[in-house]
Structures are given as structure tokens and as C-alpha cells.
Amino acid sequence: MKKSTFVTKEQLDHIVKEFPTPFHLYDERGIRENAKALKEAFSWNPGYKEYFAVKATPNPFLINILKEYGCGCDCSSYTELMLSDAIGVKGGDIMFSSNDTPAEDYILADKLGAIINLDDITHIDFLEKTIGHIPETISCRFNPGGLFKISNDIMDNPGDSKYGMTKAQITEAFRILKEKGARQFGIHAFLASNTVTNEYYPMLAKVLFEEAVRLKKETGAHIKFINLSGGIGIPYRPDQDPNDIRVIGDGVRRVYEEVLVPAGMDDVAIYTELGRYMMGPYGCLVTTAIHEKHTYKEYIGVDACAVHLMRPAMYGAYHHITVAGKEEEPCTCKYDVSGSLCENNDKFAIDRMLPKIEKGDYLIIHDTGAHGFSMGYNYNGKLRSAEVLLKEDGSTQLIRRAETPADYFATFDCFEIGKKLLQNHL
């Protein structure tokens, strides 16, 4: 499928006057349409709820849009809990799916009334000692081990992942939790990431639904919800076909009717914790070509670098690039598109065929709406960029300002040198 952008060169000419590049730009219309389609795809299940994975895009303005469609928050850390609380997502609208969890995180999760999803059987004791009781509603993360396959294709390797409990452990965990007063149970698993196939969720659902039937039978636990977690992916590459959420929702419904309904479990709610699927395609990184370099290869140097989008450097991930205004020009030039870090992996694209780029051109790096800004860092003293929302009416709204040197040096503010660093630049 041809990849298109949600912003034009003409719009960008206007936007950069107010917000200099680089910045992450988000598409309000796309976020809304997608959230609505997801809700509809699972509307057959009365208890259905999406808990947006906050770590993907921890911006309160964006999460507030999702909240309008009934989404809660899936948090994994103290600050993510704080963020959810601040935007009024509380109690059972927060799923706390953490691992290797610090005590203070459990304390805050409990204070906010979040649903706690335990990653390990040893966390039962740890939680009870930390918060002084076991919540009435509690969830456990399951890891079936082995390889997770869809028709002979290996999707991922749960047996090699640090998350979740074995079959024996989750059974024991349910027994212990029940004894300690838990009344409503949830089961959670995340077995493959960024899947671009309509089959992943229905296959995962089958594994979890059968597990739920077994756990109910063996422990007598009342299973309130099954959390399919994240993992629905997006087509980063032009040759990939996007998932069809209606087909996915319907596939899960069929497994529900096949496995849960005959077992008398037709009151189980389906939860999801999607991150990438909710936001990924609806964000882009806008950067300006500021240099070109001709050595053993052809380089285009841009004003963004890996601190603004780490995925290419970290995973060799593909992110499509459009040169704004040159959408219809032939891709006749082979470039490495690089940032300014003192790291040779700081490249947004390697040997990428693109239209001829002039200095001053805007490059639109696609699909940065999830796990983009949020994975940012400050290496080389680089500053995090702004985040800007492109609203449905075509206007823009600043939803996070760019960092300044004062932000970078803020953690020296309790020292003499901190005052000097800040004074010299303000």
C-alpha cells in the first residue's frame, strides 16, 4: 500500500513558522477515527475496554482524546500512574501491568484503586506485605512458554521472555489469591509484538480462553476479564497490508463463542492494552534537511537525531520517509538520512531511495506516534523536541514544549555549578 502523510507541504510551511523543526506532529482526526473503529469492532462484548498503553505515547492531551471513546490507561510505572490520575483516569479504569515492580509503585496503584496485574507468583507476598492486603479484583500474567506460532510462522518466543507465570504457577497463584480474599480474577498475556496479521488476537484469545476455562474448573475462581494486552501492529513498510480491526474483533468473538460460552463463561469481559495500534500511524517526526555530505556514500543530515526517534538505531526498524512537496517525484537518489549524534547508528534510513533532497526540505518520518517521542533520551546533550497536535479543523496546538538547556541542567539545580549553568544561558 502506498504510504501517505496526514500533513501537506503547504501546511508544514505554515506550522514551522510557529514551531521550529524537529517536532512530533499528531493527527487528531486519525486518532479519533481509529479509536471509534476499535470500539465498534469489540462492541459485541458488553464489558469490552481498551486500556491505552501509556508508555507508547505518554501525553495527557492525546490520552484525553482516547478517554472520550471510553479508553482507560495501562500503566507500568509510578509516573504513568501519576499521569493517569492527573487526567482523571482512576480506579478500575487503570490497569497496572508492571514487572519487577518497586514497592512504591504498588502503593500508588493501590491508592488509586487500579487493577493490579501480577507478573509473578512471588509478587503475591510482596504485594500483601507492601499494601497490607490483597485486592478483591486481581489479575495474573500468563506465559505459556515455548514458541508462539501462526500456521508455522514463528511470531515470537514466549519461552525466552521475562514476563508472566507458568501454567503451574498461575494455577497456584489463583488458589493462593482466592484464599487471601480475591473475588474477581483476570488473565493477561502478551505473546507477540507488532503483529501485522488479523490472526494474532484470535489465536492469543484461544490460548487465554482455554486457560481461563481450565483455571475456573481447577480453582473455582470467578474470571471477570481476559486481557489480550498489546501487540496488534501497524504497517511500517509500504509493502505491508494493515490489520483490519473488524476482522480481528470478529475473530475474537468467534473464539469466545466456541470456548467461553459453552463453558458457561459468557459474562467475561475482554480487555485490550493497545499502544502502537492506537497512536503509531497518527504521529510523524518532522525534520529539516540541514546538510548534505558526499563521501563513500551520499548523506542527508537532518536536524532530528536518534534521541527523537530511537527505533531505527535500536532495532534497525524501518520508518517510511516522505520529502514534503516531492510526493510525486521519482525516487532516484540513494541516501543515508542521518542525525548528529556521535554514534554511527544514528541514521533514520540507510540506502533509502528518495527524491533528490535540497537543503531546507522537510522530511516527514512516518509512524512515530507510538514508541517514538516516549523512547527519547538526552545523549550528546540533545534536547527533546516539542509535540504538536494537528486538530481536525486544520489548526495546531502545542501539546508539549521543546526542552531547553535549563531542562537539561535542571538536576544540577541543587549545586553551585547548576546556578552558573542556568545563568549563563538564560
Ligand X SMILES: *Cc1c(COP(=O)(O)O)cnc(C)c1O
Which H, E and C letters describe 382-394, residue by residue? CCCCEEEEECCCC
Shortest reach from residue 20's CB to ligand X, in Å? 29
* Contact residue for ligand X among 28, 80, 93, 273 (CB under 6 A): 273
72-91 positions binding ligand X, by CB under 6 A: 74, 76
248-267 positions binding ligand X, by CB under 6 A: none
C-alpha cell at 19: 514551531
Shortest reach from residue 381's CB to ligand X, in Å? 28
- Contacts of residue 290, defined as CB under 8 A and 6 or more positions apart, other chains included, come to 301, 302, 303, 359
38-67 positions binding ligand X, by CB under 6 A: 53, 55-56
AA identity, residue 24:
H
370-409 positions binding ligand X, by CB under 6 A: 370
CA distance 218 to 216: 6
- The mark string for 13-32 relative to ligand X (x by CB under 6 A, - otherwise) is --------------------
Of 198 and 229, nearer to ligand X (C-beta) is 229
* Contact residue for ligand X among 275, 301, 355, 369 (CB under 6 A): 275
- Contacts of residue 289, defined as CB under 8 A and 6 or more positions apart, other chains included, come to 300, 301, 302, 357, 358, 359, 360, 361, 362, 363
> Which residue of the chain is nearest ligand X when measured via CB?
230
Shortest reach from residue 344's CB to ligand X, in Å? 28
Of 231 and 355, nearer to ligand X (C-beta) is 231
303-322 positions binding ligand X, by CB under 6 A: none
CA distance 47 to 260: 14
Of 190 and 201, nearer to ligand X (C-beta) is 190
CA distance 71 to 35: 9
Of 15 and 95, nearer to ligand X (C-beta) is 95
Of 154 and 417, nearer to ligand X (C-beta) is 154
Shortest reach from residue 121's CB to ligand X, in Å? 17
184-243 positions binding ligand X, by CB under 6 A: 190, 193-194, 229-231
What are the φ/ψ torsions at residue 243 (nearest 5 degrees)?
-65, 150
Q: Which of 247, 128, 263 is nearest to 208 (CA)?
A: 263
Shortest reach from residue 192's CB to ligand X, in Å? 9
Q: How much of the chain is helix, strand and coil, in % rounded to 5?
A: 35, 25, 40
Shortest reach from residue 396's CB to ligand X, in Å? 25
CA distance 40 to 45: 10
Of 177 and 189, nearer to ligand X (C-beta) is 189
Of 76 and 288, nearer to ligand X (C-beta) is 76
CA distance 180 to 182: 6
CA distance 392 to 374: 23
Footprint of ligand X on this chain (CB under 6 A)? Answer: 53, 55-56, 74, 76, 97, 190, 193-194, 229-231, 273-277, 370
